[in-house]
Structure 1
Amino acid sequence: MTRDGKVRRTQEERSAETRTRLLDATVDCLIDLGYADTTTTVIAERAGVSRGAQLHHFPTKAELVAAAVEHLTRRIGEDLHHEAAKLPADGDRVSAAVDLLWSRFSTPLFPAFLELLVAARTDAELRKHLKAVEERLAHSMQRQVEEVFGPASSKTPGHALAIDLTLNLMYGMALQRVLASPDARQLKRRELAMVSAWKDVVTRVLENV
């Protein structure tokens, strides 16, 4: 305990805090600057930590970015878990689930993630580190979407197909946002129409496959 009565943090706690600050700063930089302009120096500055501390935790940019993707996936999972508990148990569950998922996929986080996947095509080191976490990320995302759809849908014949199709649609719509025209109102109308149509489609897939 310090002289002012505060409990002194352990080295492990300080290290964990530094790591979290670096990961959060990396996510912010990827959103604000894109992968190409995100450097470890900028990340360290935004995190408020020294370059030495950054290098101690993550020696390369690719390692840091891959760890940030996994960190972000955990954050999204915790958010979806919390929000899924608020959804209706039946009736409008599928409709509410699609709305919830799109509300998360339509944030700036997913275009930033998709940018990393494109960058990994020609960046061998980034590709190596992303592939190391890819299987865990895919499993985690699948589990999160299943939770959002709810236990009732898991008993339907088209459950697995509905989950796969929904994820692919959401990724595609998120990618479309990167390339869309600057007319935000037109884009919003198109997205609302697609989400509305998908609710009907996914309901039929769940029931009829």
Structure 2
Amino acid sequence: MSTREPKQERSRATRQRLLESAIDCLADHGWQATTVSVVAEHAGVSRGAAQHHFPTREELITAALEFMTDNRLALVREEAGELPQGPERTEAILVRMVEHYTSPLFKAALQVWTAAAADESLRERIVPLEARFGRAAHRAMVELLGVDDGDRVGHRLVQGTLDMARGLGLADVLTDDSARRTQIVRQWARTLDAALSERAVSAQC
């Protein structure tokens, strides 16, 4: 193994620590307090090393959101094989997706969205990232639920499900909304199952 490979591994590990720490700091302390210096200290990395990877806070934050979102969606897909078959499957899928919207990543993203609403340069970075995540989340739900995305009603049902999951995430920001959320997810899973079954029967006729 060349001396360059361990150095590259250390660099990748440092970058990952910074990205994970940025999400933690955003979720715990908010946008204003999440500076490159704060993130570097949280990650146990020098400020100089942090700025070598991410010269500006905006670059660090957008990279962190992209990194964690990609990881979260990859995890959802990896867990697909563990999901039950039969009547419990839809609820299990919805639970997994709602967990994303109640995670520290979502709380961190909310901090960035709020800041981006008043900062045009940050908004220009965040809007394409959010659009990409929205498309990826939609594709994941289509695959997991076995929906014909060419069917306009099926497409809207998936999109409505994601909008509901986002809303449940917002409701959980200030208080623990888990008891109500569990009931809503269970009921929507039944409603969604019935609607998708009806669409499947209609497509066969």
Q: Is the 8 A contact 1:22 1:44 kept in 2?
A: yes
Deviates more, 1:17-26 or 1:94-103: 94-103
Deviations along 1:41-91, one digit per CA (max 9) or x if unpaired, are 010111122211211211111111011010011110121112111112444
In 2: Cα distance, 1:92 partner to 1:139 partner: 25
Judging changes above 3 Å, is the alpha-carbon distance between structure 1 residues 66 and 155 closer, same or farther for their aligned structure 2 residues?
A: closer
Supply the RMSD in Å over aligned alpha carbons.
Answer: 2.4
Hey, what does 1:169 align to over in structure 2?
A: 164
Structure 2 unmatched ranges of 5 or more:
200-205
Deviations along 1:121-164, one digit per CA (max 9) or x if unpaired, are 00223212213423322222222223332x3x348954322210
Hey, what does 2:89 align to over in structure 1?
A: 93
In 2: Cα distance, 1:57 partner to 1:40 partner: 11
Structure 1 unmatched ranges of 5 or more:
none
Matched, 1:141 2:172: no
Deviates more, 1:140-149 or 1:115-124: 140-149
Runs of 4+ in 1 over 6 A off after TM superposition: none
Task: Quote the offset at 1:106 in angstroms.
Answer: 2.4
Structure 1: which amino acid aligns with 2:196?
A: L
For residues 148-167 of structure 1, the aligned pairs below 5 Å read: 148-149=144-145, 151=146, 153-154=147-148, 157=151, 158-167=153-162
Q: Secondary structure at the match of 2:93?
A: helix
Hey, what does 1:203 align to over in structure 2?
A: 193
Q: TM-score, normalised by structure 2?
A: 0.84
Deviates more, 1:41-50 or 1:121-130: 121-130
In 2: Cα distance, 1:168 partner to 1:70 partner: 20
Task: Quote the offset at 1:115 in angstroms.
Answer: 2.5
Q: Is the 8 A contact 1:161 1:205 kept in 2?
A: no
Q: Is the 8 A contact 1:34 1:112 kept in 2?
A: yes
In 2: Cα distance, 1:154 partner to 1:136 partner: 20
Hey, what does 1:24 align to over in structure 2?
A: 20
For residues 1-12 of structure 1, the aligned pairs below 5 Å read: 9-12=5-8
For residues 69-108 of structure 1, the aligned pairs below 5 Å read: 69-108=65-104
Structure 1: which amino acid aligns with 2:155?
A: A
Q: Is the 8 A contact 1:111 1:177 kept in 2?
A: no
Find the partner of 1:193 among 177, 183, 203. Answer: 183
Structure 1: which amino acid aligns with 2:160?
A: L
Q: Is the 8 A contact 1:62 1:125 kept in 2?
A: no
In 2: Cα distance, 1:84 partner to 1:164 partner: 19
Q: Secondary structure at the match of 1:85?
A: helix
Matched, 1:59 2:49: no
Hey, what does 2:203 align to over in structure 1?
A: none
Aligned residues: 198
